[in-house]
């Protein structure tokens, strides 16, 4: 198999809504769906293959059976599957939080840290999120403002618009605001340190756990250094246009806006991940074909070679090597 269609595990965190169920076809026996993990080999939620020889098996099972060669040479440096892709529906504000670096997380938590990227799929008018600080502050001021509940006076709140891109390196203070639907591409980690959570209580009726002391150790107390736009300009390709959203040492993410057929390549360097944000497509590699609609996630194995994507809509393409077009 070269094309694997994946079913996402879903999460029902208290700030979630129902757009993922109503618009993207996600399923969960809960009143809400906050997140769907569209590409995941994490122990807290595994992508499951639908159809074919490995129907009902996890993506981790497939990799174990076929060998890490299906991930590509660029994943050889990682002990674990390197990335995790989510759709996030924030009906309410998420906690103010931070993620640790690899060095800190591996030492303290036993898993990778988290650098991540947000692509704003949709948002309500006037929606905003928290991204770093307005200006640099000292460790002493940070601790004092956490203690006296004035931290939000110095955080950087940014109005968001559909199509915005936020690159959030580990150590960056952040919080997704209410009324925002996001595609999140991140390192394969579930380590989050909450600093402020609006006094909310969890399912057990108790205030949700905060991780203030750890957050003090890992938070960079400075304004963000990246613009909130795509890294590259839209480029015309066969069948549409392509935009580099963000490239970093862990992942490369492009947005494909298609109306027709385009050719991609999953070379020996990396697998490809396709997440359909809207529209409908047919993906074909040799004799293999798969239909994909809004909300569907597909994994194309490294070494597949050239394959075609035909249809109209928008796709988020992830790879861990140079552009698939150059592979």
Q: Which residues are catalytic?
A: 194
Cα gap 275→299, rounded to integer Å = 9
Q: Contact, 266 vs 288, CB < 8 A?
A: no
Sign, CA torsion 212/214/216/222: negative
Classify residue 309 as left (phi > 0), alpha (psi -120 to 50) or beta: beta
Please give the helix or strand (H or E) that residue 108 lies within, else none: helix 102-108
Whole-Å CA distances, 70 to 59, 86, 266: 11, 21, 10
Nearest to 168 by CA among 153, 182, 184, 155: 184
With b for 16 or more beta-carbon neighbours within 10 A and e for fewer, the 271-291 pattern comes to bbbbbbbbbebebbbeeeebe
**Residue the block writes with tokens 């690159």:** 167
Q: What is the DSSP letter of 100?
A: -
Nearest to 94 by CA among 16, 26, 37: 16
| Backbone angles phi and psi of 233, in degrees to 5 | -90, 150
List beta partners, residue 185. Answer: 85, 117
Alpha helices in the chain (DSSP H): 19-22, 59-66, 102-108, 139-148, 212-218
Cβ neighbours of residue 261 closer than 8 Å, sequence gap 6 or more: 238, 239, 308, 309, 310
């Amino acid at each position: 198999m070269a094309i694997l269609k994946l079913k996402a595990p879903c999460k029902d965190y208290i700030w979630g809504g129902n757009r993922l169920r109503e618009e993207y076809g996600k399923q969960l026996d809960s009143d809400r769906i906050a997140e769907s993990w569209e590409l995941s080999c994490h122990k807290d939620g595994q992508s499951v293959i639908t159809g074919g020889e490995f129907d009902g098996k996890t993506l981790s099972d497939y990799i174990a059976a076929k060998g890490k060669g299906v991930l590509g040479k660029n994943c050889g440096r990682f002990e674990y599957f390197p990335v995790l892709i989510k759709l996030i529906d924030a009906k309410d504000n998420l906690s103010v939080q931070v993620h640790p670096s690899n060095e800190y997380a591996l030492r303290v938590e036993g898993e990778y840290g988290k650098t991540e990227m947000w692509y704003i799929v949709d948002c309500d008018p006037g929606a905003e999120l928290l991204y770093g600080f307005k200006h640099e502050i000292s460790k002493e001021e940070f601790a004092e403002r956490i203690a006296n509940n004035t931290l939000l006076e110095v955080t950087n709140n940014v109005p968001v618009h559909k199509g915005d891109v936020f690159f959030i390196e580990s150590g960056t203070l952040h919080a997704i605001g209410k009324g925002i639907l996001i595609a999140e591409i991140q390192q394969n980690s579930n380590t989050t340190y909450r600093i402020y959570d609006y006094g909310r209580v969890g399912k057990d009726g108790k205030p949700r756990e905060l991780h203030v002391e750890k957050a003090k150790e890992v938070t960079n107390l400075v304004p963000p250094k990246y613009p909130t736009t795509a890294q590259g300009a839209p480029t015309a390709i066969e069948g549409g246009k392509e935009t580099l959203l963000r490239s970093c040492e862990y992942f490369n993410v492009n947005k494909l806006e298609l109306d027709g057929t385009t050719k991609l390549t999953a070379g020996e360097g990396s697998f490809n991940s396709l997440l359909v944000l809207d529209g409908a497509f047919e993906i074909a590699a040799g004799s293999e074909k798969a239909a994909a609609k809004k909300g569907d996630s597909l994994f194309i194995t490294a070494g597949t070679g050239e394959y075609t994507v035909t249809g109209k809509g928008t796709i988020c393409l992830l790879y861990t090597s140079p552009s698939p077009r150059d592979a």
